[in-house]
Structure 1
Amino acid sequence: MSYRLSRFASLVLGSALSVTTLFGAGELDKVMKERGLTQADLLAAAKTYTPSGGRDKYIVFSSGGQSGQIMVYGVPSMRILKYIGVFTPEPWQGWGYDDDTKKILAQGNIRGKQITWGDTHHPALSETAGKYDGKWLVINDKANPRLAVIDLADFVTKQIVVNPVFKSDHGGAFFTPNSEYILEACQYAAPFDNNYHPIEEYKETYRGGVTVWKFDHEKGKIIPEESFTIEMPPYMQDLSDSGKAASNGWGFTNSFNSEMYTGGIEKGLPPFEAGMSRNDTDFLHMYNWKKLAELAKDDKNVKIINGHRVIPMNVAIKNDALFLIPEPKSPHGVDVSPDGKSIVVCGKLDTHATVYDFDKLMKAIKNKDYVGKDPYGIPILDLKKTMHCQAELGLGPLHNQYGKNWKDGEIYTSLYVDSQVVKWNYKTCKVEDRQNVNYNIGHLCGMEGKSADPQGDYIIALNKLAIDRFNEIGPLHPQNHQLIDIRGKKMQLLYDMPVPLGEPHQAVAIRASKLHTHVRYKMGTNAFTGEVHEGKTLAGQEKIVRKGNHVYVYGTVVRSHINPERVTVNKGDIVTFYLTNLERAQDETHGFTVDNYNIHTSLEPGKTVAATFKADMEGVFPYYCTEFCSALHLEMMGYLMVKDPNKKYTAAKKLKMAAMSPEQLKKEYEQTVAVNNATDKVIQSVVKFLKDNHYEKYPTVKALVVDALDQYGKIAEQKKKSDAAVKAGDLEKAILFENMIWQYMVKTADVGIRAKDLLVKKVAKPMSEAAKRGETAYLEGGCNGCHVIGKVSSGPDLTGVLQRHENGEQWVAEWIMHPEKMYENDYIKSMINYFNLKMPNQGMTEQQTKDIIEYLKWIDENANLF
């Protein structure tokens, strides 16, 4: 291997170790040759690779386009973490298949019509002082003008609000700096009322606008009755941004079709695309939302349309709260700088980005320095007098993200036609770098790149086309999100991520450290209200209640049973299952469905849900847990039996089965009790270890212990039932209760051992770097497949192995590197005969072997913990 490659690999891996030492001679060269990798590929891989159990620095929320959902992934790993159900059903989470989620989706009905799809476009994170605070996420639906609010405590949609006057919206959602309001701009102009108006009345009755939604930042709720819409001309308003710092209180919304062209290709007229791009410039709308919010409170300043408050253009104009500024042709993005002093706009049909100076804008407004008014009387500011500069960027500039050094002018822009990301300086208007992407980039996602606190590090290119990037999968290709490293002087493309979920438009990224999510709900919680669910049911409270033709099933789910397990109803009954997940252990989610009845729900720990349906089919229908949750997952089921009350059923003859003899029952009972007693001893040893090492000092460990003790506390009641059955002479029933005891013990041990393993890491002496590498080599080499530290397993316990032989370290090193040479050694022969296994040569290098020995030394130093 060349020196250059060895040096490169050392840099990639952050270690002075040679490639030969780490991988074995020529191993990396071999992999590179087989896969056609370059040194640049290795560096990119090292920058994105996240080891098992590792965490990402940033979390990205990407619109799901025509899926109507949101996709969540990590950066730099680009690993998809979750899909959030928003405007459309999402089966895995039961989104749209149980009562509570149906209610949320029903909030998005338009004029009484159920909408079963959405086109999510622009997500926005809630802000405090212009910085992302990690509390709420809002996204719009372009096709059906709606906004949805997602709670970032559990990543669940909690509210959907329909715009009462728009017929489409592209420019949403955009928070004001302290999340007091959300800006949502109209897209295609249409009458605000719900009546028919001929296209010939376009200029008179068709309108655009921006809805300013009042937002309760504490509760995460949009308040429609305190919201209003600013009437605007039918210029096809597009994207927006709220001013911040110096420009706080103002909003900026660009537009296209200042021509107010109305098409007519079917009548021989030029198409929309020709008529809408005739003018040299379009209009950027500038409005004082803070002043307009006060004006909207007075009835004399508004019109009520569809029950919604609308501020007419003349009121906004009269109060110096609405202005127009010429902007590049067919613009698509408007982005306010972190200090609020600059506004950058790009035009798809112009090669320039224009930087407006907020101070110049305010000076022109103060001096009423207008170049004229539009047909609706809105003052038009002078482009040349209000701009700072224009930058020649390339073909098809669209969207902007600010870099970490924004104070010095660092900004990034997507070029759709050129398929590039360009780095430039919005203060000097000089281009500094270009990065090709694949292909036809739309939006950019910076790391908090549109907040008051951009982090830099990475830019993500949201590309519309993939073409030759991935395996062929038919005519419909995925989108392509490409991760770009911007930490150096030159940008570096690191990773291609296919996105097979609609057409993502915009994405926002936030530091993972700002997100503080629930790992479980408070027992019996309704996830959508945060209050106690009306159907909350605890262990022992399970029941079936009939009220007329409505049957209520109050049930519980816990590894590995659903209680009750048999429910009989009449055909035609309305059935409501109230189910509470009694688990307290993290990540023990259950699902629930009744076969053939099209209901499904997801039950996270502590959560209560309701699922209502009409039992309109006669028959027997299994219900079961849909989430693989335990070794007895398949047994976690029950039966819904629907009988026709007008039918007379004849019972089938019972099948007589051979029963176990009393002696056999007694033997099985005694064996089951013995297993339980042995399991309990293991549990008690774990409990002693936890107590001896003061587990209560470590919150994460303590939470696991509480979960374990919660399971263990259920055993006493089962033991009473077992003893009572024995006393009554019913050993068969006693065996069943003893098996239930074993189930609780297994659950207790599972969580308890997890707690112990975590506690060991916290109380043990710190590992040296060599020992850490040794642990990695030990695990990756598969040593733990036969050796369990602290106990004999498929191979001997390795605790103290270095002291078992003269010159122990040398002996162990020889054994690891060349085991086949020692198979005839008397000691080794006895081990092979005892375990009926030979240790294979795992191909460990000399350096890995030295590191493993350091790991074994660390084990010996902490032997009392294993």
Structure 2
Amino acid sequence: MTKHFGKLSSLILGTTLAATVASAAGGELQKVMKARGLTENDVIRAAKTYTPTGGRNEFIVFSSGGQSGQVIVYGVPTMRILKYIAVFTPEPWQGYGYDVDSLKILRQGNIRGREINWGDTHHPAISEKDGKYDGKWLAINDKANPRIAIIDLHDFETKQIVVNPVFKSAHGGAFFTQDSDYIIEAAQYAAPFDNNYHPIEEYKETYRGGVTMWKFNHKEGRIKEDKSFTIEMPPYMQDLSDSGKGVSDGWGFTNSFNSEMYTGGIEVGMPPNEAGMSRNDTDFLHVYNWKKLAEVAKDKKNVKVVNGHRVIPMDVAVKHDALFLIPEPKSPHGVDVSPSGEYITVCGKLDTHASVYKWSKIKKLIKNKEYAGKDPYGIPILDMKKSLHGQVELGLGPLHNQYSNIDGEIYTSLYVDSQVVKWNYKTLKVLDKENVHYNIGHLCGMEGKSADPQGKYIIALNKLAIDRFDNVGPLHPQNHQLIDVSGKTMDLLVDMPLPLGEPHQAVAIRAEKLHPHVRYKMGTNAKTGKMHKGKTLAGQEKIVRTKKADGTNKVEIYATLVRSHINPERVTVNKGDEVIWYMTNLERAQDETHGFTVDYFDAHASLEPGETTEMRFIADIEGVFPYYCTEFCSALHLEMMGYLMVKDPNKKYVSAQKLKMKTMSKAELKAEYDKTIAVNDATDAVIQSVVKFLKENGYDKHKVVADLVTDAFDQYGQIPAQKKKADEAAKKGDYEKAVLFENMIWQLMVKTADVGIRAKDLLVRKVATKQSASAAAGERAFGEGGCGGCHVIGKVSSGPDLTGVLERHGKNAEKWVSDFILDPEKMYDDPYVKSMIDYFNLKMPNQHMSKKETQDIIEYLKWVDENANLF
């Protein structure tokens, strides 16, 4: 009675609040309510789900994406979609399945050598500790192609896909055991475990069902296939499962349909499957001691190996008192273990009742070997009545269950009645019903299948929308409806259309339990969590060409991306070359994602801050192909691009410059010659300054530097021959030919300068004063923080040279630099900073450096000033 009045007083208070707000706003709210036909209850319900801009949700929901093969993430109570997680299906925006690293994950899901690029995701599950969701890992199954995927909730990325080697379909996954030691996956449609043909007439003899216990390493977040095993079961069409918890920990429960073992045959005049598979009044709940069977499977004598996978035969499981059957209402579609592990609820779609089994009764029957009989395969059957706590009539089409935070309370979906019913599984009494729209399947409680359910809300996952939303054609969205269950009676708050696949089941967790990254450690391979082999920091960009046996090149491009440029900006390869593009996002600012694509090559990568990824393709068509950042990342986003130029090595190209020169007068050709000579002289001056530095600092004492210098001189040594030809042509007045030879000289000079500057940078490291630990840490922070994307030590680049920066700002220089790094936005109006912004047309972004990193960078800048003569 108290709760009833509490609910009523809450409603009165809400109505009064709505009226007060309307009055305070000069009746504006009342005008809106009248214009839209809203009641005061509508306004209160809207207020319960509304979150102001910048607000956060209390719970995060992970919903299967059905035939999209993905996972949908949304918040409660806002019911706003936050993310699609790519799992079994390529997803272009995130580059999943288009870059090398994500494609490796997707290809883990190949079956019998065949690429599978779609999935039918059904049952997401969150990893557990002591039966409570811990927010570390998410597992989800693919029913169509029996697979399990693991998603890391630190970055919401799919990290592993495993294929079930013996099942042909698997609706009944994924379900974690209470400490995430194993993930349960049950077969759906019985089929031979091997990959051979078996006639349907041999169904009972050769077709099998089963439950796979996937061993899970909770620390690594990976399934260990070699430590996993399957429990062979009869061809009863196993369905959903749940793991025991608390008093029933170590046991698994899987229901089934088609205990008739009917195989249909409409085409030969037999009744359809739906008639033959629902003839019996009961089917079987499978009860198995997976913890004991895990030990049994360690002995090779107890398993048979099928397709490289360990299978425990039924007779072995029975022999070890680890597999039992209990009759359950016909055509059940779920089994749910209570938070304590003592009560097990099963609903049959073709029965109006929910059946509540009691673990202590089941355990006693097993201990006493009190069996009602055996099935055709010799599996002991426990008496249904002796196993039951009781039954309660709920309505038409009971399906799935979620537990409340109130002891004994449970919520069940009624498919035919289109209702959610609240009842008590201990007292077996119905408490409340709420209509939903329409034909509800699963329902999602807030941590409602854990040992610590939160109550507050239930989400109805409805199969039909019909008249709920705007008409968008014959294919309607699914409808997820949020229901407030905090009062004595349930209250439907809001509808949410979900227009991606058929979301089948969802699981919710408190948002406070999730602690995802906002950026990666610089150079991380997001699919492995380790440092990427292609990690590239600012200043380390390069192009490496390796000749392959077939005469083509392997061209490896080590590139960086930072607001607002891609380095390098020009890449030339030969037709037929293998192009491998390593890309590192140098940003540290949150949400500064960069995308990358090369036109025509069907490749795309998404790089979050700090991430390195790899793209690979054959440059099999000739032409000029722009590459660019696909994510609008800054005001100069359109300028963040470059060109891939693919030339045919077997084709003779006529130089556009040569064509241009053919139309020039002799005076114009002489001017072009003089201009080219000037460019080469300037380039040679740079080379000579590098050579002078190398000689003055004893490059020949350091072999690794000397080797680079030798390579540089190999290029430079080819110049005299070209120069002789250029001078001879100029002497004869053939300036067209002279320009072409001078251009060849420029090409050789560029190659020389590239290698020479790398030699100089390496020598600096050899002869500079030794860095303190703090300065070394500062240099790492400078590189991994993306600072080098704009600032190049020793030269002006996209931003000012930082050599001498501490001297430029006087005695307060360290504080000035520190303040600017930690919060640059506050200093945009500083006259000096404003002048730099105007000059470079760029604002320094906040790279979210810590105070320790900032101090280390200052120590690095001191080291730079000590060795300024070397830069």
User: What TM-score results when the alignment is normalised by the length of structure 1?
Assistant: 0.77
* 1-structure distance, mates of 2:784, 2:21: 45
| Structure 1 counterpart of 2:570, from 566, 571, 574 | 566
1:182-581 to 2 correspondences below 5 Å? 182-405=183-406, 407=407, 409-548=408-547, 549-581=553-585
Shift of 1:170: 0.3
- 2:133 aligned partner: 132
Q: Contact 2:461/2:479 (CA < 8 Å) preserved in 1? A: yes
Contact 1:707–1:751 under 8 Å retained in 2 = no
Partners in 2 of 1:412 and 1:706 — Cα distance?
A: 54
Partner deviation per Cα, 1:135-191 (whole Å, 9 max, x = no partner) = 000000000000000000000000000000000000000000000000000000000
Q: Residue 87 in 1 paired to residue 88 in 2? A: yes
CA 152–489 in structure 1, closer or farther in 2 if over 3 Å, else same: same
1:75 & 1:448 partners in 2: Cα distance? 12
- In the alignment, the residues of structure 2 paired with residue 36 and residue 62 of structure 1 have an alpha-carbon distance, to the nearest angstrom, of 32
How many angstroms apart in 2 are the aligned matches of 1:721 and 1:389? 75
Shift of 1:719: 3.2
C-alpha distance in structure 2 between counterparts of 1:351 and 1:119, whole Å: 29
Pair 1:444–1:744, CA change in 2 (3 A):
farther
Residues 753 and 312 of structure 1: CA distance in aligned 2, closer, same or farther (over 3 Å):
closer
Distance 1:116 1:708, change over 3 A: closer
1:93 aligns to what SS in structure 2? coil
Report if aligned partners of 2:210, 2:234 keep a CA contact under 8 Å in 1: yes
**Letter of the aligned partner of 1:122 in structure 2?**
H
CA offset digits 1:499-521 (Å, max 9, x no partner)? 00000110000000000111111
Shift in Å, 1:28: 1.2
CA distance in 1, matches of 2:24, 2:599: 53
Within-5 A mapping of 1:143-158:
143-158=144-159
Q: Which runs of 5+ in 1 are unaligned?
A: 1-6, 660-703, 725-737, 756-866
2:342 and 2:87 map into 1 onto residues whose CA distance is 35
* Cα gap change, 1:709 to 1:531, in 2 (>3 Å): closer
Alpha-carbon distance in structure 2 between the residues aligned to 1:134 and 1:216: 15
**Cross-structure match for 2:21:** 19
**Partner deviation per Cα, 1:491-549 (whole Å, 9 max, x = no partner):** 00001000000001100000000001111111111112221111010100101111112
Residues 103-114 of structure 1 mapped to structure 2, 5 A cutoff: 103-114=104-115
Label 1:400 to 1:721 Cα distance change in 2 as closer, same or farther (>3 A): closer
SS of equivalent to 1:384: helix
- Runs of 4+ that moved beyond 3 A: 7-17, 653-659, 704-713, 715-724, 738-747, 749-755
Structure 2 Cα separation of the partners of residues 369 and 187 of structure 1:
29
Determine whether 1:591 maps to 2:595: yes
Q: Deviations over 1:725-747 (max 9, x none)?
A: xxxxxxxxxxxxx9997698844
Q: Deviations over 1:433-479 (max 9, x none)?
A: 00000000000100000000000010000000000000000000000
Residue 102 of structure 1 and its aligned partner are, at CA, apart by 0.6
Change beyond 3 A, Cα 1:743–1:441: farther
Once the 2 structures are TM-superposed, how far is the Cα of residue 364 of structure 1 from its aligned partner?
0.7
Query: How far apart are residue 652 of structure 1 and its match?
Result: 1.9
Pair 1:600-2:696 in alignment = no
User: In the aligned structure 1, how far is the partner of 2:542 from the partner of 2:782?
Assistant: 30
Residue in structure 2 matched with residue 617 of structure 1 by the alignment: 621
Counterpart of 1:748 (choices 844, 851, 858) is: 844
With over 3 angstroms needed to count, the CA separation of the structure-2 counterparts of 1:543 and 1:708, relative to structure 1, is closer
**Separation in 1, partners of 2:798, 2:843:** 20
Task: From the superposition, tell whether residues 266 and 39 of structure 1 become closer, same or farther in structure 2 (CA, over 3 Å).
Answer: same
Larger Rg: 2
Change (3 A) 1:380 1:9: closer
Mean Cα deviation higher: 334-343 or 14-23: 14-23
Counterpart of 1:700 in structure 2 is: none
1:75 and 2:76 aligned: yes
SS of the residue aligned with 1:30?
Answer: helix
**Kept after mapping to 2: 8 A contact 1:524/1:533:** yes
Paired amino acid for 1:516: H
3-state SS in 1 of match to 2:43:
helix
What's the TM-score, normalizing by structure 2? 0.76
Looking at structure 2, the residues matched to 706 and 352 of structure 1 have their Cα atoms a distance apart, in angstroms, of 65
Cα–Cα, structure 1 residues 721 and 624, in superposed 2: closer, same or farther, change >3 Å? Answer: closer
Q: Once structures 1 and 2 are overlaid, which stretch shifts more, 364-373 or 560-569?
A: 364-373
- Alignment coverage as a number of residue pairs: 689
Distance in 1 (alpha carbons) for counterparts of 2:798 and 2:400: 68
TM-fit CA distance, 1:748: 2.1
* Structure 1 counterpart SS, 2:48: helix
Structure 1: how far apart are the matches of 2:509 and 2:646? 50
The residue number in structure 2 matching 1:849 is none
Matched residue of 2:656: which SS? coil
CA contact (8 A) 2:90 2:98 kept: yes
RMSD: 2.7
Distance 1:130 1:14, change over 3 A: farther
Quick one: structure 1 residues 441 and 77, their matched pair in 2 at CA, closer, same or farther if it must change by over 3 Å?
A: same
Cα distance in 2 for residues equivalent to 1:574 and 1:476: 43
Q: How does 1:631-780 map to 2 (within 5 A)?
A: 631-653=635-657, 710=787, 714=791, 717-719=794-796, 746-748=842-844
Paired residue type of 2:597: T
Distance in 1 separating the partners of 2:784 and 2:313: 59
Residues 288 and 9 (structure 1 numbering): CA distance in 2 closer, same or farther, change over 3 Å? Answer: closer
Identity over the aligned pairs, expressed in percent? 73
Distance 1:533 1:363 in 2: 55
Look up the SS of the partner of 1:629 in the other structure.
Answer: coil
Residue 748 of structure 1: SS of its match in structure 2?
coil
Q: Deviations over 1:391-431 (max 9, x none)?
A: 100000000000010x2x11000000000000000001111
For residue 838 of structure 1, what is the aligned residue in structure 2? none
Q: Contact 2:586–2:789 at 8 Å: present in 1 too?
A: no
User: Could you say what secondary structure the match of 1:92 adopts?
Assistant: coil
How far 1:33 sits from its partner (Å)? 1.1
Could you tell me which amino acid in structure 2 is paired with residue 444 of structure 1? L
Counterpart CA distance in 1 for 2:171 and 2:410 is 24
739 and 276 in structure 1: CA distance in 2 versus 1, 3 angstrom threshold: farther
Q: Report the secondary structure of 1:431's partner residue.
A: strand
Query: What is aligned with 1:159?
Result: 160
Deviations 1:574-614 (A, max 9, x none): 10100000001111000000011000011000000000001
Q: Secondary structure at the match of 1:370?
A: coil
Alignment-mate amino acid for residue 748 of structure 1: M
Could you list the runs of 5+ residues in structure 2 that have no partner in the other structure? 1-8, 548-552, 673-780, 802-833, 852-871
The residue identity in structure 2 corresponding to 1:421 is V
**Contact preservation (8 Å) 2:18, 2:43:** no
SS in 2 for 1:524: coil
Cα distance, 1:366 vs structure 2:
1.2
Cα–Cα, structure 1 residues 711 and 437, in superposed 2: closer, same or farther, change >3 Å? farther
